[in-house]
Amino acid sequence: WNKFKYQLQYGNGTKGASILATTRLETVANIVGTHPAHHLVGLSDDDIWSLFRQQVFGPNGEERAELVMIGKDIVRKCNGSPLAAKALGSLLRSKTDEHQWDSIEKSEIWKLYDDATKSALTLSYY
């Protein structure tokens, strides 16, 4: 990392060249350490719902009221994370049974992590 960073700052890199590192871990941001970390806020529930809805139902899909109700509860658990919404939306796209959606919403996996994205990715994996 230090050799790479040196090349950007002093080496033969193009003037003004830069690298944008994204991470969810503060320690990684501190290791990169050239600028203070910029913390992003999550998306609103409405924006996350829009993203989730598009993943699950597509542009012309049928939105069943019972699935929408469960889906909105799932979206609230995503805590504004687009990655969580997309992962769960992709998972639930092929699931039309209300019980399958309900098992995702009520899963104990949500309690395992403080991070909604980790929970959603774990759920989509299993």
Q: Domain ranges in the chain?
A: 1-32, 45-124
At 125, which helix (H) or strand (E)?
Answer: helix 116-125
Rounded to 5°, angle at Cα 50 from 45 and 57: 135
- Tens-digit pLDDT profile for residues 15-67: 666 777 788 788 888 877 767 788 888 899 999 999 999 999 988 878 899 99
Tell me, yes or no, if the pTM score tops 0.85.
Answer: no
13 torsion bin: left (phi>0), alpha (psi -120 to 50), beta (else) = beta
Quick check: 123 pLDDT over 80?
Answer: yes
- The pLDDT of residue 14 is 64
11 torsion bin: left (phi>0), alpha (psi -120 to 50), beta (else) = beta
* Beta-strand runs (E) in 63-122: none
